[in-house]
Amino acid sequence: MAETDDYVLGRDYAEGLRLETQHLLWNIHNGFTIDPKIPITPQTKIADLGTGTGVWLLDVATQVPPTVQLDGFDISDEQFPHKSNVPDNVNFRITDALSKVPDDLLGKYDVVHIRYLGPIVRGGNTEPIIQHAIQLLKPGGYLQWEEGDLSPKKLCIKGPEAEAFYTFASLSYRSSNFTFSWVEDLPNRVNRAGLEVLKFRMDPFSKAMAPLATRTFVLGHIAGTNSLYKIGHESLPPRHEVDALLAALIGAVKNGAAYYQTPVSLLARKPA
């Protein structure tokens, strides 16, 4: 594990399951794993930043020629799959997306994929991640980025239980220096960094996906809440009060309560 690890959602069994369920949610929402606008050849090299369990890469591996190189990078190897379950063309490596790209990876990849790196973006500073991705890309390479917008106007908050939990969640965001206005501004930030934005989508999940979106989002908040109370912060309410809010929200989902972010996806290209 890299020394600068500042990930707030944890890497236990439940978090691995959340990431993989979340992958299903994104595939249903997008209608694809890797954007069909990205050309794939037998020589294509693809990198996945913040790969976690590697679920996105392992899914891509079933859809591309076996000669395509698929490399997953994360600041921790705790969620990497066991090598016995990994195809020969898939590799995993510890790398910090907020740091300088290792020399052997500079300009190596035709595609860089990012999903949900918001939990490592403090104070809205996306510059290190964007520069890291650009340095990995070959000239003409593609950046596929999927993120969640948690800003107040972009959250779906339905039901009194969801509203009550959001009161706590917004406090936890502020105490951890998380802001989310950068998500909507992502095309401008990527463009200023020198990439051509080919597509930007900011549509809500479908009504049918609301329960799945809520469950995965709430699971992330459970992990984040555990981290917050482990660290400790004077502004936090008593833990039993927050646990009661979570329990009420979870119980209300079957009655139509909803609490989830707006999904955002971007496709950009590095000049050739």
CA distances to 4, 125, 183 from 189, in Å: 24, 10, 9
DSSP, res 40: -
State how far the Cα of 180 lies from the Cα of 24, in Å rounded to an integer: 24
Residue 36 sits at the vertex; the CA angle it makes with 30 and 40, to the nearest 5 degrees, is 140
Q: Which amino acid is at 45?
A: K
DSSP, res 90: E
Bridge partners (DSSP) of residue 268 are 143, 197
Per-residue pLDDT, 4: 46
Measured over the CA atoms of residue 146, residue 150, residue 152 and residue 158, the dihedral's sign is positive
With residues binned 3-state (H G I as helix, E B as strand, rest as coil), the percentages for the chain, rounded to 5, are 45, 20, 35
Nearest C-alpha neighbor of 47 from the set 64, 19, 70, 75: 70
State how far the Cα of 34 lies from the Cα of 31, in Å rounded to an integer: 9
State how far the Cα of 86 lies from the Cα of 70, in Å rounded to an integer: 11
Residue 23 sits at the vertex; the CA angle it makes with 162 and 18, to the nearest 5 degrees, is 55
Superfamily of domain 13-269: Vaccinia Virus protein VP39 (3.40.50.150)
3-state DSSP assignment of residue 137: strand
What are the extents of the domains in the chain? Answer: 13-269
User: Which pTM value belongs to this model?
Assistant: 0.91
Mean pLDDT by 10 residues, the chain (272 residues): 47 80 96 98 97 96 98 93 95 93 97 90 92 97 97 95 94 83 96 98 95 93 82 81 94 95 97 96
Task: Read off the tokens for 97.
Answer: 């997306």
CA distances to 57, 71, 151, 154, 268 from 68, in Å: 11, 10, 37, 37, 21
CA distances to 28, 211, 251 from 206, in Å: 10, 10, 21
Per-residue pLDDT, 105: 98
Per-residue pLDDT, 49: 96
Q: Which residues contact 166 (CB under 8 A, 6 or more apart)?
A: 155, 157, 259
Q: Which residues contact 94 (CB under 8 A, 6 or more apart)?
A: 1, 2, 73, 74, 75, 76, 77
